[in-house]
Structure 1
Amino acid sequence: MLALKVTGVAFVLAFLALVIAVYVTRGQLPSFDELKSSPNGQMIRVLAADGTPIVSLGPSYGEWLTYDQIPQVMKDAMVSVEDRRFREHWGVDPVGVARSVQVRITEGHWKQGGSTITQQLARNIFLSSAKQFGRKFREGILALAMERKFTKDQVLELYLNKVYFGGGAYGIDAASRKFFGHGADHLTLSEAAIIAGLVKAPSHYSPTADAEAAVGRAGVVIGLMKETGKISPTEAAAADPKTVKLAPEPNQNSVRYFTDWALPQLENLIDEPNRPLEVWTTIDIKMQKAADDAIRNNAPGNAQGALISLDRDGAVRAMVGGKDYVTSNYNRSITALRQPGSSFKLFVYLAALEAGKRPGDPIVDEPITIEGWSPRNSSGRNAGQMDIRTAFAYSVNTVAAKLGQEVGFTTIADMARRFGISTPISTYPSMVLGSNDVRVIDMTRAFASVANKGVAVTPYGITKVTSMGETIYSHEVDRSHVLVAPYVAQEMTDLLQTAVNTGTGRAAQIGRPVAGKTGTTSSNKDGWFIGFSSGLTTGVWMGRDDAKVVPGLQGGTAPARAFAAFMKIATAGRPVEQFDTAVTLPEFQLENESDFGLPDNGGGSLVDPDGNPIPQDQIAPDDGIGGGDAGSPPSSEDDTPQTAPDGPPKTTDRIDKKWLDRVTGGDSSGGKRPPSRDHSQPVDRPRDVQPRPNQ
């Protein structure tokens, strides 16, 4: 008798404690409106420069539908499959709990949770999903408290708008838009059954993951709806989930190369792990599409391609890391290490100009040997005396080597590092022809800094980050880091525009001033073109991931054409900008373009990017000879020969009039032949070049 009394007292005390806990919890619960606005997780919306959404990461939410806006078939389907006694219990269903315990005893493990819709809502909002007794107890208390504070209709409204349906979709509207392409306010019976069936296992029953499993589960839901009297047998027979049309999965286009690069930077820019974020980026949708098309349409079929375009302040307007992001998300514009070939001569000539050389200074193209290394021109011969402008325009290798020896290979390496080359740089003589591995983004920023009159340009992809109307980060451009004097940048631009107008980069012409440089490595393994016009600097690389030969690939062919195809569209809305120096023609036209690569030297010996054999004692571990990126995936595609463009006019005693009109935009008819130059004197500099300081 005493034991019975003790048991009775304990039960009463436990009941009172439960009631107190429920009502204390009820008082601490957020209001209905607060629960409506609380997020289930951090959502990140990425916006283009003009505010156009380009991708959403994390949980996605649709429109909030009130109880009256939710189709009755959706409410009936969810109640039938998840909690058929929803209208009868107080938040915890004793019948469901008893059934769950019975299954636990007979099966030996928990198979049915017995959780009501209210309990699931409490778990989704306030608790974790760990299957522990303590969590289940707190879940029950919260469910009882929620049903004391909210009506059944409010609970169901919260549940249907906040439960997770897989694929990042929270709520029936987000799920409906993701899977069916329309809002949830006009769901059909079959569509509602598919959505209701997802709650049990969102990843397993997701239509995009396993359409057959989703349809099978929807059939179970329809059967339960008929069993509970929510639909008639006729309606159940008429419903056919197999006929439901699923919305196509959005293509993961090339913009994902950009977001994969930019978004990890958020960790260093902000400290906001919970609130939804809007990330405003620099990407230009029109330019990005043009970049994607330029790479796909111009890269050889057996090769890959990459493109980066920077605005004058470093804003990344377009980034393509390969032909197809879905096939390969390896970002060759950021990660791949490849030999730059003659595009590396930018740093050779920058060092020479800073040391006092001038574009019109005479120099002799002649055989040269430096520490056992003897570079040669692809024409197989030497042209003799010329000026520096001509040597650069036609990428004469012996002149680059001679300048490197004169200014010092360490000086050139320091210049490359100054302009943002972040990879190791050897100081062996062959480095002047681009034997060190580099990244596309580093080379592009270097050319952009020249275009920016010698002021450093740092690439960036995020302009600002906002959260619930508040700006929590805003990018500031640093324009204080001067790399070279303005006159050096001007004279380098002078050389670069000559290379496009009359030299190896003629295929990059776009009908407005362009300055740039080609690059080709040994056996045509890599092709580069990097240039700038109208405030945009664009770098293009093409080659195979396994660094095998791509016959016909040269910097002046496919890469230059891709550059032109992109830049014609990218600069179309920008005013034409003239460079500080006028175009000056080289003093004569060479018969062959020295930038065209030669085959590897026979016998398996190592060669520089232009085919010149390198002495064994000049090969360092970080020389990068051979060009590929060890981390890149292998390719099994067959090589496809490409056709080289026409060369410059094959004349050395006169300049073809039509060709002159094309490159200068003028009319040479009736004009006189330019007077011959006295090569013993420097060529006059255009009058609009800023004067050098006293030397």
Structure 2
Amino acid sequence: MARRDIPRRPDGGRSDPTDPKASRQPSAFRRWMGRLFMWGLGFAVLGVVSLAVAVAVTTQSLPGYQGLKSSQTGQMIVVRAADGSEIVTLGPSYGKWIPYERIPQPMKDAMISVEDRRYRSHWGVDPIGIVRSVMVRVEKGAWRQGGSTITQQLARNIFLNNNKTFGRKAREWVLALALEQKFSKDQILELYLNKVYFGGGAYGIDSAARKFFGHAGEDITLPEAAIIAGLVKAPSRYSPTADADAAVGRAGVVLKTMQDNGVLTAQEAAAVDFKKVKMVSDTEGQNSARYFTDWALPQLDILLPENDQPIEVWTTLNPIMQRAATNAIAGFAPKGTQGALVSVDRDGAVLAMVGGTDYVTSNYNRATNAVRQPGSSWKLFVYLSALEAGYTPDDRVVDEPVTIDGWTPRNDGGRYAGEIDLRTAFAYSKNTVAAQLGNEVSFGQVANMARRFGITTPINTLPSMVLGSSEVRVIDMVRAFASVQAKGMSVTPYGIRKVTTTDGEVLYQHRPESQQQLVPPYVAAGMTDLMQTAVNIGTGRAAQIGRPVAGKTGTTSSNKDGWFLGFSSGITTGVWMGRDDAKAVAGLQGGAAPARAFAAYMKVATAKRPVEKFDTELKLPQWQLEPDDEAMQGSPDDYFYVDEQGNLVDPARRQNDRDTDTFNPDAYPADQQDEAPAAANDDFLNRATGRQGERQTDPPIGSRARPIPVN
């Protein structure tokens, strides 16, 4: 029988393999896990103690209830035009303080349901809400749902800012817990409803009720409460005076949340009729200058990030030009369409901005936010690329059918003019010529030119891009045209000249940005020549104002968009018209309503400015004055020849006769003739020495990509 090895006991005997004492010995892994658990428990206890101490200290330092009631948040901002007149005053508007007992119950229920449904059960911070927010973040890849309670929002509104940092969030938690320790739930809700911001400068439910519905906050009805509660998430987006449909839509979400929270029955929610709600018209908002202030004022967060004192913002807006711009868009935009206009001075100062036909109906700024196809106005970048590549306005091209990579562009009306010059092709917006130019210089180069001139939206490089298939913003296109007027120098639009305190102390002063040369001046001059012709005899004739104007029309397929952009007397203006849903508009063309609106505005804008003639003289570089086949070789004086022994031959020793078509070795001194044998063939030498040999006429445009001059 085999012998079993049994471990010996210390006393010399053998131990039982089933000894319970031996099985109770912990493994190394279990010992480490135990230690980690104890460490974690210790850190957790330490964290809880630290948090408790922080909350206790904060609770003791908090102001009393009356002190919190009297505190005010928000910043008063007086916005002034370029002439110093007041455009608008923005800032806090506090209504009458409403005690908790007199706040309408629908208002309390609506706010708790939509902002913090577990308000009555948490201690200021809602762990369930935080976990839900994190789960949505993991699932969606972005923060779509906040975890802030009403108490946290109150702490942030009174004591903190909106910076999204973990440090600020930690302080917010401590303050929220401290508020819950010091005040009752009813007191916190009273503070919140009387202090929360509802947009339009209105703080508190009384101010909001008076601003939006024309009555006191104590008389708020259920549908009004739903509208007001819906504003907290995004006051500007859901403002009843700016976008009534958006406000009602958001209010419907609030009612559904109230129903889910058990404070409304399905019948009560269904019985709400928002059509019976009478909203106060925001007469101040009818001023289209609000489009401008909506664009300019957010820049204060960058210019003066830490400032919260009352300030005056001195802008570039010209009141006379702004009124003219408003009238031009309202007067010429076809029925059922929207319009936008941006006008800048030669230094980039925005003189006028209109983002729609009516700010009250829609505060969406189409001048700075909307992206639409520019149509033929995009040809600015095609022709800039061509001029930079060596073309001139007088070069002859051929307007004829062409197919590029399976794409066949057509001219308006299907007509082709045959052989014309570049100036005429641009003036009459010939699509086939633009397509061939873009194909030769490369569509990527056209895209680079657009990016160079300030286009910030995505740009495709398909052949059809030359006709404006990439969407752009009005303000970006105006910036590009302004840079052409500035003789190829970059122009950056800006709207704030300076910011001062109410006592006159200057907090910020605009400083001109260093300009960059985007294209040589002769390229800008050539482009101005083309655009002036487009207004004089081409598609932009309706934009004439009795003084030199350079510009370009743009019309997209099916007449969905109409553009005119141009400049005169140092002012560059762009006009766009179309429908927000991008549906076709009968008769809408860039050379019609947009060009007429441009002219109506520019007659007013340039009235007090001297007439300026355009500098369209083409001061071309020397290389461009040579024939194309020779220009690529550079200056003759830049060449050195190498003899058969590899020795450099000084160009100063070349005495060849430029009137002959053969190299003349006798031009060298007798003692040097053996040192100067031709190191290349005659054709190379003819080009290198600049002699005018017999020019070879290349096929005209249409036969190949490049439209070269036809003699």
Corresponding position of 1:326: 360
Aligned counterparts of 1:250 and 1:374: Cα–Cα separation in 2: 51
Distance 1:487 1:378, change over 3 A: same
Aligned counterparts of 1:479 and 1:274: Cα–Cα separation in 2: 30
SS in structure 1 of the partner of residue 499 of structure 2: strand
Indicate which of 528, 531, 542 corresponds to 1:496. Answer: 531
Indicate which of 198, 206, 211 corresponds to 2:210. Answer: 206
Aligned counterparts of 1:544 and 1:405: Cα–Cα separation in 2: 32
Q: Give the TM-score normalised by the residue count of structure 2.
A: 0.54
RMSD: 3.8
Structure 1: 5+ residue runs without aligned partners? 1-24, 30-35, 63-77, 83-107, 109-123, 140-162, 176-197, 217-245, 584-679, 682-695
Q: How does 1:18-57 map to 2 (within 5 A)?
A: 41-57=74-90
Q: How does 1:191-340 map to 2 (within 5 A)?
A: 202-203=206-207, 206=210, 209-211=213-215, 249-340=283-374
Q: How does 1:70-219 map to 2 (within 5 A)?
A: 134=182, 202-203=206-207, 206=210, 209-211=213-215
For each residue in 1:323-347, what CA deviation from the matched residue of structure 2 results, as whole angstroms up to 9, or x when unmatched? 1111111111111111111100000
Aligned counterparts of 1:125 and 1:414: Cα–Cα separation in 2: 49
**Larger Rg computed on CA atoms:** 2
Aligned counterparts of 1:492 and 1:465: Cα–Cα separation in 2: 38
Distance 1:505 1:125, change over 3 A: closer
Q: How does 1:683-694 map to 2 (within 5 A)?
A: none
Bigger CA drift: 271-280 or 531-540? 271-280
Q: Give the TM-score normalised by the residue count of structure 1.
A: 0.55
| Structure with the bigger percentage of helix | 2
Corresponding position of 2:433: 399
Distance 1:52 1:368, change over 3 A: same
State the shift of 1:312 in Å: 0.6
Q: Structure 2: which amino acid aligns with 1:558?
A: A
Aligned counterparts of 2:598 and 2:491: Cα–Cα separation in 1: 20
Corresponding position of 1:470: 505
Corresponding position of 1:546: 581
- Please tell me whether the aligned partners of residues 164 and 202 of structure 1 are also in contact (alpha carbons under 8 angstroms): no
Corresponding position of 1:573: 608
SS in structure 1 of the partner of residue 367 of structure 2: coil
Q: Structure 1: which amino acid aligns with 2:86?
A: P
Corresponding position of 2:599: 564
Distance 1:167 1:433, change over 3 A: closer
Q: How does 1:427-446 map to 2 (within 5 A)?
A: 427-446=461-480
Aligned counterparts of 1:388 and 1:399: Cα–Cα separation in 2: 8
Distance 1:391 1:203, change over 3 A: same
Aligned counterparts of 1:249 and 1:566: Cα–Cα separation in 2: 24
Corresponding position of 2:551: 516
Corresponding position of 1:486: 521
State the shift of 1:40 in Å: 5.7
Corresponding position of 2:110: none
Q: Structure 2: which amino acid aligns with 1:398?
A: T
- Please tell me whether the aligned partners of residues 166 and 206 of structure 1 are also in contact (alpha carbons under 8 angstroms): no
> How many percent identity over aligned positions?
64
Q: Structure 2: which amino acid aligns with 1:52?
A: S
Q: How does 1:422-461 map to 2 (within 5 A)?
A: 422-461=456-495
Corresponding position of 2:564: 529
State the shift of 1:204 in Å: 6.9
- Please tell me whether the aligned partners of residues 525 and 617 of structure 2 are also in contact (alpha carbons under 8 angstroms): no
Larger RCO: 1 or 2 (CA < 8 Å, sep 6+) = 1
Aligned counterparts of 1:582 and 1:52: Cα–Cα separation in 2: 42
Aligned counterparts of 1:413 and 1:56: Cα–Cα separation in 2: 42
Structure 2: 5+ residue runs without aligned partners? 1-62, 100-119, 121-156, 161-174, 188-193, 221-279, 619-696, 699-711
For each residue in 1:631-670, what CA deviation from the matched residue of structure 2 results, as whole angstroms up to 9, or x when unmatched? xxxxxxxxxxxxxxxxxxxxxxxxxxxxxxxxxxxxxxxx
Distance 1:209 1:301, change over 3 A: same
- Please tell me whether the aligned partners of residues 42 and 273 of structure 1 are also in contact (alpha carbons under 8 angstroms): no
Corresponding position of 1:104: none
For each residue in 1:378-421, what CA deviation from the matched residue of structure 2 results, as whole angstroms up to 9, or x when unmatched? 23232111110011110011111111122111111110110011
State the shift of 1:167 in Å: 9.2
Indicate which of 387, 392, 397 corresponds to 1:363. Answer: 397
Distance 1:382 1:537, change over 3 A: same
Q: Structure 2: which amino acid aligns with 1:211?
A: H
For each residue in 1:421-479, what CA deviation from the matched residue of structure 2 results, as whole angstroms up to 9, or x when unmatched? 11111111111111111111111100000001100001111111112422111111124
Distance 1:252 1:374, change over 3 A: same
State the shift of 1:165 in Å: 13
Aligned counterparts of 1:395 and 1:41: Cα–Cα separation in 2: 52
SS in structure 1 of the partner of residue 457 of structure 2: coil
State the shift of 1:210 in Å: 3.9
State the shift of 1:48 in Å: 1.0
Distance 1:169 1:396, change over 3 A: closer
Distance 1:165 1:410, change over 3 A: closer
